[in-house]
């Protein structure tokens, strides 16, 4: 399969994630859509690593996975804290971050 | 080669279907399950690109660990039924995503990279194996590797701080906690006062340099204790975030 096909899949996944971030309001689903975007970028990185025959792109993809895991951890912690304070779990209502 | 092509199409269709499922499911629980399907299909794509270690990490770390965390939080928070977003974003969001897709396609088709239409670099034995990845991580990319470990630790501590149970935040009994206790005089009730090393604030003349190093440590600790006690009421009420 040509590398271009993989890039097309990665672009489609990235755009689906971007559309989800814009249209959904539940922060949990928002985090999932961010994961989608990061995974699209990961696929492009790995495809380019295959294209050049070097593993540096795969290293980059692994680092992106680490950053995504950190982001998920902090985001889920925030959602749990929001839920504990009995605030609405909805990004439109949570417009301001006042303590 | 035919087998690889068939596998590619199966995995690609699975990945795109999973992605669409993530954003179209109304229940967040099903969204997480769709994302797991998407991640497994993406791992298959990674395998086709000869990135074995990344594929294994994808399945073990992402689909295994991170998604379980997601599932627990969704089960805890309970995916409440969402009202759809406002009319402006409902129209503009998909439009923006479509525009982005068109832009990316134009960028890809008009790319001057000749390798994009090729099948990639000839396969070298050992490409993408854990051995190669580990060697790269511990030689050329040592600094990002260490930075990633620090980032993971900071994230773990941050998540614990954010999600811990706080006293005084739950329940609406905030009025009771508004009482502010006045602190007692600074040096009373301590061992230092009993030993006569410290004088009371009224009798004290100079700066606090009477005793040895041991009593000095006690005195600073006592000051900090009194300070936190005085601010205790307000701190408990407004504390937390």
Tell me the C-alpha distance between B204 and B202, whole Å. 6
Q: Left, alpha or beta for B178 (phi > 0: left; psi -120 to 50: alpha)? A: alpha
Residues of B in contact with A68 (CB under 8 A): 62, 66
Q: Do B45 and A89 touch (CB under 8 A)?
A: no
Q: Would you say how long chain A is, in residues?
A: 99
- The answer on pLDDT for A18 being more than 80 is yes
The count of other CB atoms within 10 Å of the CB of residue B108 is 16
- Taking 50 as the pLDDT cut, the residues of chain B under it are 172-176, 209-241
3 state SS for A28-45: HHHHHHHHHHHHHHHHHH
CATH of domain B1-82: 1.20.120.1200
CA B22 to chain centre: 20
- Please indicate if any CB of chain B lies within 8 Å of the CB of A24: yes
Which tokens hold the place of A32?
């999932």
Angle at A17 between CA A15 and CA A18, to 5 degrees: 65
Q: Do A8 and B108 touch (CB under 8 A)?
A: yes
Choose from B112, B163, B168, B240 for mutation: most chain A CBs within 10 A.
Answer: B163
- Please indicate if any CB of chain A lies within 8 Å of the CB of B118: yes
User: In this predicted structure, what is the pLDDT of residue B167?
Assistant: 60
- For residue B50, give the nearest of A14, A50, A99 by CB distance: A50
User: In this predicted structure, what is the pLDDT of residue A72?
Assistant: 92
Closest chain B C-alpha to A36 CA, distance in angstroms:
7
- For residue B73, give the nearest of A3, A19, A79 by CB distance: A79
The pLDDT tens digits for B132-186 are 899 999 999 999 999 999 999 999 999 988 878 766 555 544 444 555 556 666 6
CATH of domain A3-84: 1.10.287.3510
The pLDDT tens digits for A45-98 are 999 999 888 889 999 999 999 999 999 999 999 888 888 887 777 777 777 766
Q: For chain B, which residues make up each domain, given as ranges?
A: 1-82, 129-165, 185-199+219-241
Residue given tokens 């811990």 in the structure block: B164
pTM: 0.74
- Please indicate if any CB of chain A lies within 8 Å of the CB of B241: yes
Residue given tokens 């680490």 in the structure block: A66
Q: Exposed, middle or buried: residue B150 (CB in 10 Å: 0-12, 13-18, 19+)?
A: exposed
Q: Do B80 and A89 touch (CB under 8 A)?
A: yes
Q: Which of A35, A44, A37 is nearest to B63 (CA)?
A: A35
User: In this predicted structure, what is the pLDDT of residue B199?
Assistant: 60
| Residue pair B128/A58 in contact by the 8 Å Cβ criterion | yes
The complex's ipTM works out to 0.92
């Amino acid at each position: 399969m040509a590398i271009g096909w993989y890039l097309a899949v990665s672009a489609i996944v990235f755009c689906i994630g971007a559309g989800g971030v814009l249209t959904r309001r539940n922060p949990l689903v928002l985090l999932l859509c961010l994961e989608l975007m990061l995974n699209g970028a990961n696929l492009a990185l790995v495809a380019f690593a295959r294209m050049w025959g070097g593993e540096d792109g795969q290293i980059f993809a692994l680092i992106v996975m680490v950053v995504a895991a950190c982001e998920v951890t902090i985001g889920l912690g925030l959602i749990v804290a929001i839920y504990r304070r009995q605030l609405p779990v909805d990004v439109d209502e949570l417009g301001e971050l006042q303590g | 080669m035919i087998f690889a092509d068939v596998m590619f199409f199966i995995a690609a269709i699975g990945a795109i279907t999973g992605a669409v499922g993530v954003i179209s499911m109304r229940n967040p629980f099903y969204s997480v399950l769709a994302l797991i399907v998407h991640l497994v299909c993406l791992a298959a794509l990674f395998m086709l690109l000869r990135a074995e270690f990344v594929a294994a990490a994808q399945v073990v770390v992402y689909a295994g660990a991170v998604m379980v965390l997601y599932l627990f939080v969704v089960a805890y928070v309970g995916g409440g039924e969402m009202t759809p977003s406002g009319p402006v974003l409902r129209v503009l969001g998909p439009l923006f995503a479509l525009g982005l897709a068109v832009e990316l396609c134009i960028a890809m088709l008009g790319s001057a990279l000749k390798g994009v239409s090729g099948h990639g670099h000839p396969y070298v034995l050992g490409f993408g194996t854990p051995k190669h990845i580990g060697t790269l991580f511990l030689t050329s990319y040592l600094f990002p590797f260490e930075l990633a470990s620090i980032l993971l630790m900071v994230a773990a501590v941050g998540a614990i701080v954010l999600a811990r149970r706080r006293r005084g935040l739950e329940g609406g009994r905030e009025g009771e906690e508004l009482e502010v206790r006045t602190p007692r005089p600074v040096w009373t009730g301590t061992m230092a006062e009993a030993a006569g090393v410290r004088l009371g604030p009224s009798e004290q003349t100079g700066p606090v340099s009477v005793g040895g190093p041991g009593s000095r440590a006690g005195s600073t600790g006592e000051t900090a204790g009194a300070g936190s006690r005085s601010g205790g009421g307000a701190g408990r009420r407004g504390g937390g975030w």
